[in-house]
A = this chain, B = another copy of it.
Amino acid sequence: MEAQDTVHEAHTPAIPSGVRSEGDALARLYDSVADDMEATNRTIVARMDSPVPLIPQLAAHLVAAGGKRLRPLLVLASARLCGYTPGPDGIRRHVNLAACVEFIHTATLLHDDVVDESHMRRGLASANAVFGNKASVLVGDFLFARAFQLMTDDGALRVMAILSAASATIAEGEVLQMSTQNDLSTSLERYLEVIHGKTAALFAAACRVGAVVAERPAAEEIALETYGTNLGMAFQLVDDALDYAADQARLGKTVGDDFREGKITLPVLAAYEAGDETERAFWRRVIEDSDHTEADLATALDLIDRRGAIARTLDHARRYADAACAALDVFPQSRLRRQMTDIARYTVDRDR
């Protein structure tokens, strides 16, 4: 809760707690853009304000809850890698756009929280559950609108084109994910399309926007977009692996969320594909028919482990991380470039 309390302070800590303590690749990259990240945090707090008190209250809960701020970090690092320096007007375009990207991300998180009515007992949904849905949707909409106001203030049509296309792709990815739910016949290709939409598209846009504000040649823009896409794919693959593999306490989230929702992710697809008939019957019951108990989760974790499905998922992630690193070859060697390739590797090795 500490992060939440600090949200209205003038000097929000640049580096989310829990990142620095790891002393890892991510913390080093945060350090490299610490001033810009502090400015981004201040912009986030300033721009989520509204005369309607519930909005900053709820937005603060998520925006300030201490996520990794990975997407704004990518905007800032990409702009820096491209040698961006603010113009004579002193406006830090990359800072405003980093805040913008975090707003888009937060809006999608809020909307992802929305629960289908079918998941509540009809007519018995608690006032709180209904209030939650309602607030999530509307505050998400507000942040999305604010993101577009930040883009408008920035004034570059190319930035708007990139970020509005990414926003459409995110929505498409989320809808596609919804339509693969509970469906074990989902192909690997379709799964990759889903995670591209829900995660990689915004990573790619964040990186590309950094190159755009620096007014770099197309080759550098495309290199950063490729870096972002591949980093995002790796990130989501690992996220999906962690949902079946992580130490629950360290992850800070419940293992098995995806399992309980019947979400189709690579660990499940790989275990299903490699399974014998008995195993496949198990997967059909728990995923397709949504007929499962907590004991079934233990069985699922065991089957996923025995069929090497986590390893297969991480193999995919590692290939994407390698592609992310390779994409940065167009830039001369530098400390910053090394830090950016390091976080691609960190993404695969992380356990949280």
Q: Please give the residue numbers on chain A whose beta carbons come within 8 Å of chain B beta carbons, in ascending order.
A: 50-55, 107-108, 111, 114-118, 130-135, 137-139, 141-142, 144-146, 148-149, 151-152, 155, 157, 160-161, 164-165, 167-168, 170-172, 174-176, 178-179
B residues in contact with A172, CB < 8 Å: 50-52, 55, 142
Contact with A133, one of B116, B144, B160 (Cβ below 8 angstroms): B116
> Closest chain B residue to A160 by CB distance?
B152
Contact with A175, one of B135, B164, B178 (Cβ below 8 angstroms): B135
B residues in contact with A137, CB < 8 Å: 111, 114-115, 137
**A146 to B178 Cα, complex, angstroms:** 20
> Closest chain B residue to A130 by CB distance?
B117
Q: What is the minimal beta-carbon distance from A14 to any residue of chain B, in angstroms?
A: 27
**A141 and B170 contacting across the interface, CB-CB below 8 Å:** yes
**B138 and A115 contacting across the interface, CB-CB below 8 Å:** yes
Q: A167-B145, A170-B141 are in contact. Are A178 and B54 (CB under 8 A)?
A: yes
**A152 and B141 contacting across the interface, CB-CB below 8 Å:** no
B residues in contact with A118, CB < 8 Å: 132
Q: A52-B179, A54-B179 are in contact. Are A152 and B161 (CB under 8 A)?
A: yes
Q: What is the minimal beta-carbon distance from A205 to any residue of chain B, in angstroms?
A: 12
Contact with A138, one of B130, B132, B149, B175 (Cβ below 8 angstroms): B175
B residues in contact with A149, CB < 8 Å: 161, 164-165, 168
Contact with A144, one of B51, B141, B160 (Cβ below 8 angstroms): B141
**A172 to B143 Cα, complex, angstroms:** 10
> Closest chain B residue to A118 by CB distance?
B132
> Closest chain B residue to A51 by CB distance?
B172
B residues in contact with A135, CB < 8 Å: 175, 178
> Closest chain B residue to A50 by CB distance?
B172
Contact with A146, one of B145, B151, B168 (Cβ below 8 angstroms): B168
User: Could you jot down 21 A-B contacts, CB within 8 Å?
Assistant: A52-B172, A54-B178, A54-B179, A55-B171, A55-B172, A114-B114, A114-B137, A116-B134, A117-B132, A117-B133, A135-B178, A141-B171, A145-B165, A145-B167, A149-B165, A149-B168, A151-B164, A152-B157, A152-B161, A152-B164, A160-B160
B residues in contact with A142, CB < 8 Å: 168, 171-172, 175
**A52 and B117 contacting across the interface, CB-CB below 8 Å:** no
Q: What is the minimal beta-carbon distance from A124 to any residue of chain B, in angstroms?
A: 13
B residues in contact with A157, CB < 8 Å: 152, 155
**A141 and B111 contacting across the interface, CB-CB below 8 Å:** yes
Given A133-B133, A138-B174, 18 additional A-B pairs, CB 8 A: A50-B168, A51-B172, A52-B172, A53-B179, A55-B171, A55-B172, A107-B141, A115-B133, A116-B133, A118-B132, A131-B178, A138-B171, A139-B175, A144-B144, A144-B167, A145-B171, A151-B160, A152-B161
B residues in contact with A178, CB < 8 Å: 54, 131, 134-135, 138
**B132 and A116 contacting across the interface, CB-CB below 8 Å:** yes
Q: What is the minimal beta-carbon distance from A194 to any residue of chain B, in angstroms?
A: 10
B residues in contact with A131, CB < 8 Å: 178
